[in-house]
Amino acid sequence: MHQIACHECDLIHDIPSMPNRAAAVCVRCGCVLFRAKTDSIDRTLAWTFAGLVLYAVAVSFPFLAMKNGPIANETGLLTGIEFLYRQGIIPLAALVLLTCVLIPLIQMLGLLYIFIPLKLNFRVKYAIPVFRLFKHIKPWSMMEIYMLGILVSIVKLGKMATIVPGLAVIAFGILIFVLNFALSAVDEHMVWEKLEGDL
């Protein structure tokens, strides 16, 4: 049993475990409290593993190559941040590091930490605080904005030099979608019920 408050009228409901695709509706105002998701554990894990592979490519391969005549400069996601740091733009370097490198990684590791034990039916310590943390950092992922910044700089720098998008840019772009799929596959109600219940 798990308690949930109606988003519209704040009425508290006790919700039992629900079959796949079933929706719980508020008894007072009729708005949908939530909908149980199909194969949430498998889908979350599959998208998260795919995300980790893309992440590994995004941090280790060149992001952009800038060609100006015979001189070619390659930049990676991490070397780009280092560059900002060395230019003295430290707050921006920290922000990019946090929102584009650390938070996506923490999110994916957090999902694995919660969902692998759920899948295999065992308990891990601190699963509840980890899931709380996971929910709190969700709005802090800003990879989309970073990607937009990169696209703008490609267009702008394109006038001065030839910009060749690297493998990492493509991986990073796909990762944004894959991570969103992983996050939307999470059935929070089911997770709370399993974490707080007897499994």
Supply 19's token pair.
């079959």
Report in angstroms how near the CB of residue 34 gets to Zn ion at its nearest.
12
| Tokens 């990019």 sit on residue | 96
User: Among residues 41, 50, 44, 2, which one has the least CA distance to residue 24?
Assistant: 2
Nearer to Zn ion, 22 or 92 (CB): 22
Helices and strands, number each (H, E), in the chain = 8, 7
Report in angstroms how near the CB of residue 32 gets to Zn ion at its nearest.
10
Q: Is 87 exposed, middle or buried (0-12, 13-18, 19+ CB in 10 A)?
A: exposed
Report in angstroms how near the CB of residue 6 gets to Zn ion at its nearest.
3
Nearer to Zn ion, 33 or 101 (CB): 33
Nearer to Zn ion, 33 or 84 (CB): 33
Q: Is residue 181 within a helix (H) or strand (E), and if so which, with residue range?
A: helix 167-185
List residues near Zn ion by CB under 5 A: 6, 8-9, 11, 26, 28-29
Nearer to Zn ion, 8 or 42 (CB): 8
Report in angstroms how near the CB of residue 11 gets to Zn ion at its nearest.
5
